[in-house]
Amino acid sequence: MKHALAIVLGLMLLGLQYRLWVGVGSLADVHRMHVQAEQLREDIDEAKARNAAVAAEIDALKGADADALEALARRQLGLVRESEEFFLVVNEP
């Protein structure tokens, strides 16, 4: 009887140890979640920095004159007026 009880208790202990080290909510699982949360925090910080840069650019554009906005549109968007002709020069490698 004592031997059977010891076997049952031993199996229960092994089952609990398995859940502690490998199962759902295990130490490895918790560590993985902490690493994932830290990565998400870093991603959020990068996104906040990009948002701040875009907000600063918007503020700068709000204060810019029409010529500066036109120059920016020409450079970034390829703005061409109706009276202008557009030539695309392709450099062959």
Percent above pLDDT 70 for the chain? 100
Cβ neighbors of 70 (< 8 A, separation 6 or more) are 79
Q: What is the pLDDT of residue 73?
A: 84
pLDDT in tens, 39-82: 999 999 999 999 999 998 888 888 878 888 888 888 888 888 88
Whether the full predicted model's pTM is greater than 0.95, yes or no, is no
Q: What is the pLDDT of residue 17?
A: 78
Residue that has been written with the tokens 């061409």 in this structure: 80
pLDDT band at 33 (very low <50, low <70, confident <90, very high): very high
**C-alpha triplet 51, 57, 59: angle, nearest 5°:** 105
Distance CA 38, CA 32 (A): 10
